[in-house]
Amino acid sequence: MKTYKAKRVAITIEAPMERRLRAILEAADVTGYSILPVTGGSGRSGSWSAEGQVGLAGGMVQVTCVIRPERLDGLLESVFNVVERHIGIVTVMDCDVLRAERF
């Protein structure tokens, strides 16, 4: 089966920044993305957990999308404006997709 090259971008960021990040994705014409809750992890400041938190204000989310390689730099530039001032990480991976017209 024929596959096409794409980029998978995963952005883990503080939950209160989710709305701003979604606006950036939509402005960049990224029409497909998933948002997942992050329940814990470990980073420079050590381990953390969302356990026992009353609201999402202290939590994290991961926003994942798949885009065409030629659109990556523009998206990362916009995303960096949000991530640079907040706790978060951005990863980019090569991937293959079956239906290139969707990205």
Contact 32, 79 (CB under 8 A): no
Q: Is the pTM of this model over 0.85?
A: no
Q: State how far the Cα of 1 lies from the Cα of 97, in Å rounded to an integer.
A: 10
Tell whether the model's pLDDT for residue 46 goes beyond 90.
no
- pLDDT band per the 50, 70, 90 thresholds, residue 16: very high
Phi, psi of 54 (to 5 degrees): -80, -40
**pLDDT reported for residue 52:** 53
pLDDT band at 13 (very low <50, low <70, confident <90, very high): very high
The total of structural domains in the chain comes to 1
Per the domain annotation, does 52 fall within a domain? no
> Which CATH number goes with the domain that contains 64?
3.30.70.120
What pLDDT, on the 0 to 100 scale, is given for residue 88?
85
| pLDDT above 70 for 36 | yes
Contacts of 91 (CB under 8 A, 6+ apart): 9, 10
- Domain-located, residue 51: no
What pLDDT does residue 53 have?
Answer: 53
The mean predicted confidence, pLDDT, of the chain is 87
**Does residue 33 contact residue 63 with C-beta atoms inside 8 Å?**
yes
Q: Where in the sequence is the domain holding 16, given as residue range(s)?
A: 4-45+57-102
Does residue 38 fall inside a structural domain?
A: yes
Average confidence (pLDDT) over 2-22: 94
pLDDT of residue 97: 94
Which H or E element spans position 78?
Answer: helix 72-83
